Amino acid sequence: MERIQTADAPVPAGHYSQAIKANGFVFVSGQLPFAPGPHRVMPQGIAAQARQCLENLRAILQAAGTSVDSLTSVQIFIPDVALWGEVNAVYESFMGQARPARTVVPTNALHHGALIELNAVAVCP
């Protein structure tokens, strides 16, 4: 088992790793839409937040030695299902030909007032 840590994604604010690499998989922890760096800056609007979460995901996957093309599963949490159309448009543009299994979960409020959070699992060659 290997802990994955990169400065190209937000540093964990609690007792967890950005990701864990184990048994040929990478398990990426929940990503809120914070930009990398020490100041925990979050963009405004669902499209910008979705893009930031996906960029954080890409950075963590790259640090683990894999990529978006190797994703097997993505879970997306949003506080209002009305946001789904914009999230899906950003997701589709970002993923390109990759089509991992996906779950979208409408929730109550997310931490720090975020409009999206996601986690994922990828195969690691």
This prediction has a pTM of: 0.95
CATH topology of domain 2-123: 60s Ribosomal Protein L30; Chain: A; (3.30.1330)
Angle at 97 between CA 95 and CA 102, to 5 degrees: 55
pLDDT tens across 95-106, in order? 999 999 999 999
pLDDT tens across 1-59, in order? 999 999 999 999 889 999 999 999 999 999 999 999 878 899 999 999 999 999 999 99
CA 8, 44, 105, 125: dihedral to nearest 10 degrees? -20
Q: Tell me, what amino acid is at 74? A: V
Q: Which CA distances in Å does 35 have to 1, 3, 6?
A: 27, 21, 13
pLDDT tens across 72-118, in order? 999 999 999 999 999 999 999 999 999 999 999 999 999 999 999 99
